[in-house]
């Protein structure tokens, strides 16, 4: 009888020990997990802060180079500066967009296209890269490529008046008749003129040519008159 009582009396003690061990293990786990969580949070914050610092540094340098270029129009100098920036900040699509424009101005359109495609690879919804690419392709008489890039540009930025104007011109005057689209040419030209409140002479000229190409000579004449009035101001 005593043996039976003795065995039963040990069972609660063992369960108490197991419970104590579990509580200690849980507390030890918390002791290690809390610092680890803090380290992870701080690491994420530090990474984001570092990325933000790099972004600010890029913007400051880009602003500086753009300001000097605006004053001097020194394409070669600006291109070298952006090439150096691309080496330091290879993940900044903004730099490749600028490089693309500068290569084009320097007469190196193939390199311009390459840089712009790099920008697009880094940020597929970068309307400015597509807009610049459309302009470069247009200047090379690559009408289909210019239209393709331009349509993407205005999809991401419906206020891109320069691309509206370029597309209107292409749809109205392309040497490839398969690319012509009188309705889109008129729609885009009207948008370019409307968004700039009839103050941009080149856009008025484009719209006048669109009207003329579609046989609306009277409307073209009105636009040309407005063009001349704007030029006289």
**Does residue 45 form part of some domain?**
no
Q: Is the domain of 154 the same as that of 176?
A: no
Number of neighbouring beta carbons within 10 Å of residue 55: 14
Give domain status of residue 24, yes or no.
no
Structural domains of the chain, count = 2
Same domain, 117 and 180: no
CB 147 within 8 A of CB 167: yes
C-beta separation of 142 from 180 below 8 A: no
153 and 195 in a single domain? The answer is no
- Whether residue 125 is found in the same domain as residue 90: yes
Q: Report the C-alpha gap between 161 and 135 in whole angstroms.
A: 12
SS3 state of residue 74: coil
Q: Which contiguous run of DSSP H or E holds residue 113?
A: helix 109-122
pLDDT one-digit tens code per residue, 13-37? 556 666 666 666 666 655 655 565 5
End-to-end CA distance of the chain: 119
- State the average pLDDT for the chain: 82
Residues 142 and 81 reside in one and the same domain: yes
Q: What is the DSSP string of 143-174?
A: HHHHHHHHHHHHHH-TT-HHHHHHHHHHHHH-
Q: Residue-wise pLDDT tens for the chain (233 aa)?
A: 444 444 545 455 556 666 666 666 666 655 655 565 555 554 554 445 454 556 667 778 788 888 888 899 899 999 999 999 999 888 889 999 999 999 999 999 999 999 999 999 999 999 999 999 999 999 999 999 999 999 999 999 999 999 999 999 999 999 999 999 999 999 999 999 999 988 898 999 999 989 888 877 777 667 667 666 655 55
Digit-coded pLDDT (tens) for 112-142: 999 999 999 999 999 999 999 999 999 999 9
Query: What is the pLDDT, as a whole number, of residue 65?
Result: 86
- CB–CB of 211/228 below 8 Å? no
Same-domain status, 150 and 173: no
Residue where a domain stops, chosen among 158, 182, 213? 158
How many C-beta neighbours within 10 Å does residue 154 have?
Answer: 20
Q: What share of the chain is helix, strand, coil (3-state, %, to 5)?
A: 85, 0, 15
- Asked if residue 179 and residue 122 are part of one domain, the reply reads no
pLDDT of residue 5: 46
Question: Contact 155/172 with Cβ under 8 angstroms?
Answer: no
Task: For residue 31, tell me if it sits in a domain.
Answer: no
Identify the domain containing residue 186 by its residue range: 168-233
32 part of a folded domain: no
Whether residue 151 is found in the same domain as residue 177? no
**What pLDDT shows up at residue 49?**
44
CATH number at residue 151: 1.25.40.10
Say whether both 152 and 173 belong to one domain.
no
């Amino acid at each position: 009888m005593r043996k039976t009582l003795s065995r039963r009396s040990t069972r609660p003690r063992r369960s108490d020990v197991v419970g104590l061990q579990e509580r200690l293990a849980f507390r030890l786990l918390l002791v290690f997990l809390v610092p680890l969580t803090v380290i992870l949070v701080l690491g994420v914050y530090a990474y984001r802060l570092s990325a933000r610092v790099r972004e600010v540094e890029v913007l400051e340098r880009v602003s500086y180079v753009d300001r000097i270029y605006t004053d001097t129009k020194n394409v070669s100098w600006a291109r070298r500066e952006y090439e150096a920036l691309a080496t330091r900040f290879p993940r900044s699509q903004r730099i490749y967009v600028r490089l693309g424009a500068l290569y084009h101005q320097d007469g190196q359109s193939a390199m311009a296209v390459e840089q712009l495609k790099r920008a697009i690879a880094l940020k597929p919804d970068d309307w400015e890269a597509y807009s610049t690419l459309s302009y470069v392709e247009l200047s090379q008489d690559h009408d289909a490529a210019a239209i393709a890039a331009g349509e993407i540009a205005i999809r991401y930025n419906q206020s891109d008046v320069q691309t509206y104007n370029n597309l209107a011109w292409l749809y109205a005057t392309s040497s490839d008749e398969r690319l012509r689209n009188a309705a889109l040419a008129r729609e885009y030209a009207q948008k370019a003129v409307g968004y700039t409140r009839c103050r941009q002479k080149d856009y008025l000229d484009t719209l006048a040519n669109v009207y003329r190409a579609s046989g609306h000579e009277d409307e073209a004449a009105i636009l040309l008159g407005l063009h001349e009035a704007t030029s006289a101001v």
